[in-house]
A and B are shown apart, each in its own frame.
Chain A
Amino acid sequence: MELHLANHSSYPRIGASREEQRLRRAYTQRERGEISGETFNQIQDSVVAEIIQEQAAAGCELLTDGQIRWYDPISHLTGKLAQVEINGLLRYFDTNFYFRQPVLKGKVNRKESLVVEEFRYALQVSPRPIKPILTGPYTLAVSFIRQAPEYGELSTLIMDLSEVLAQDVGALAAAGAQVIQVEEPAILRHPRDLPLLHKALVPLSRAKGSAQLSLYTYFGDATPIYEGLQELPVQILGFDFTYAPTLPDKIVALGSPKSLGLGLIDGRNTRMETAEEVLPILDKVLPHVHGESVYLNPSCGLEYLPREKAVAKLTLMKKFKDAFLHRGKR
């Protein structure tokens, strides 16, 4: 079992300096028609490249494209589907971040790839492996306003979204993704729907080829459904430990046949974790993980932090890994 350092998903797209705020200005300029779509895309590309380098320089080993092009985790994907209109803003779980709610008018259909082109670009400019992110079929489905008669039943929509996402999973694997992260924060709010999620992950699992499929939950305590999550057809499970004080004990008690993503670094707060807080949990949990890898990562996307704090958190993870390994050698 190896310990790796991974980013979670999103990353702050602007920082404190004027140069680091070029994407914010570009959005405004594009809205006003002052720059072309092509110029806007070039600026977006340059920010993706910049934040990939920033993650690598901080010591991160499995990187993301920071979801820099995403308006939010829901509408970025659903907005690319046929029969979907994008509606007003809604709070994203318990954050002070808002997503645009999709409205379903008819049968879900994939018009184009969702994130494959973004992944290809990120991979091309990255010195290290890139982990593409997909919001999962369950979380997408419960975010919709359903106005299509086909989808009286939530389960029908979940399965149709699963088929759509599976096509992207297959294309991502073919494009070189080694780990594909599916995010399902909503399942923690509706744990009784775990069987629905299980069924919905099967098409994704079939499509993944040689890639590893990871299922990440956050913004809630996964401890009560830990056993059920271990049954899902994925190779990696990622958890938000900031909501789950007893999860380490559960892992110790039941073990983990799967690889784990340990969200021990709080992606929602600026306070820097100490080695005294993090290393004992690694000590406690790692002997009970029987999957091939453990990923130390933030508890959620880092976009909830100012840029300089996000970098500091990644740097801290590297420090913790070094301390952990160094201590192990003694």
Chain B
Amino acid sequence: MSRAKLERLGLKLPLFITSTVGSFPKPDYLLEARAKFARKEITQKDLEALERRATEFWIQQQEEIGLDVLVDGEQYRGDMVAYFAEILPGFDRGGLVRSYGNRYYFKPIIVGEVKWSRPITVNWWKFAQTLTSKPVKGMLTGPYTIMDWSFNDYYPDRKAACFALAMVIRKEVEALVEAGAKIIQIDEPALSVRPEELGFAREAMHMITDNIPAYFVTHICYGAFEFIYPQMLDLPVDNFDLEMSNSGLDLIGLFEKDPFTKDLSFGVLDVHSHAVEAPGVVKDRIEKALQVLRPETLWVDPDCGLKTRTVEEAQGKLRAMMEAVREVRQSVGG
């Protein structure tokens, strides 16, 4: 059904559509430039020029590796929530909070009404799409995750904050579709942490995707899926992009019990491991997925964003993935 939707949108894609979750590692020159920008040693314009150079690099890499649905690589973003909070009116930057070990991040604070005042990601999406004839996904962080990973001084409760953010993300989705995006990914990695809130998270997703002519993917990772599956299948999206390999493919057990009813982007690369998977390992993972999923519903991608890997590791992992997909396509005649 979702493949028919892709075709209605004018997208003719092969079996086992290959893509990535969104972020790629930043080349050294960009990391240095970001540090210099933070120290006010270079201008925004200088930084943007290098972000564009890095985006061009990653589009070219994805094409060369042979992926089907591309991403802009998020070379212009730091944290997936802070990036939106820095642009949206209603947020304050907040203070430093520890995430683990010696890692800290600025956790944003909602201090007023959150509003969409201008496109946030559209220019980057347009730029990336001009570099390739393959479809580029629009990449947004979802309202539930932005709410959960921010402090809230303004809205009366989590649900109200989530709904206000959903209205904002809806506007950004409309702007992306207006610009020509046909596949849009709404990242909701926080979705599984409070199963009791799945109901309003689903309502928020309806506010974003209802009556929008696009194919929607949502990415969820590193959570307690056993508490939200199969209820999560009611989320109004076409495709769930799930981390599978880091958790030893144990979600397959859930799918054996309650069949997966939508398209699935099946994470075949462990992004927390430096080791580059052998194509045979990836092929084995795809074959395991095919025990519970129909080939036409299966997309293949990494578990999560590759930004924590080195450039070489990310390239190596994606090449291994493509090699495995080519073998599987041959064996099923796709």
Contact = CB atoms under 8 A, between A and B. Distances in A.
Interface residues of A, number: 33
B176 interface: no
Contact of A98 (B100, B107, B151): B100
Given A91-B193, A96-B190, A306-B95, A271 B152 contact: yes
B222 interface: yes
Contacts of A244: none
B78 to A, nearest CB: 15
A270 B152 CA distance: 7
B222 A91 contact: yes
Contacts of A309: 95
Given A96-B148, A269-B151, A270-B109, A89 B100 contact: yes
A277 interface: no
Dominant SS among interface residues on chain B? loop
B95 A308 contact: yes
Contact of A16 (B95, B99, B194): B95
A7 to B, nearest CB: 17
B100 A270 contact: no
A27 B272 CA distance: 22
B100 A28 contact: no
B176 to A, nearest CB: 26
A89 B96 CA distance: 20
Centre residue among A98, A269, A270, A308 by max chain B CB count within 10 A:
A270
Given A94-B193, A269-B152, A306-B107, A27 B102 contact: yes
Interface residues of B, number: 23
Centre residue among B95, B109, B153, B193 by max chain A CB count within 10 A:
B95
B104 interface: yes
Nearest to B195: A94
Interface in A83-109: 88-91, 93-100
Interface in A281-330: 303-309
A160 interface: no
Nearest to B193: A94
A229 interface: no
B333 interface: no
B166 to A, nearest CB: 20
A206 interface: no
Nearest to A91: B222
A13 B102 CA distance: 10
A14 B109 CA distance: 18
B308 to A, nearest CB: 11
A121 interface: no
A97 B99 contact: yes
Interface string B192-208: 01100000000000000
B194 A94 contact: yes
5 contacts: A13-B98, A96-B149, A270-B152, A305-B95, A306-B95
Interface of B: 94-102, 104, 107, 109, 148-149, 151-153, 190, 193-194, 222-223, 272
Interface of A: 12-16, 24, 27-28, 31, 71-72, 88-91, 93-100, 269-271, 303-309
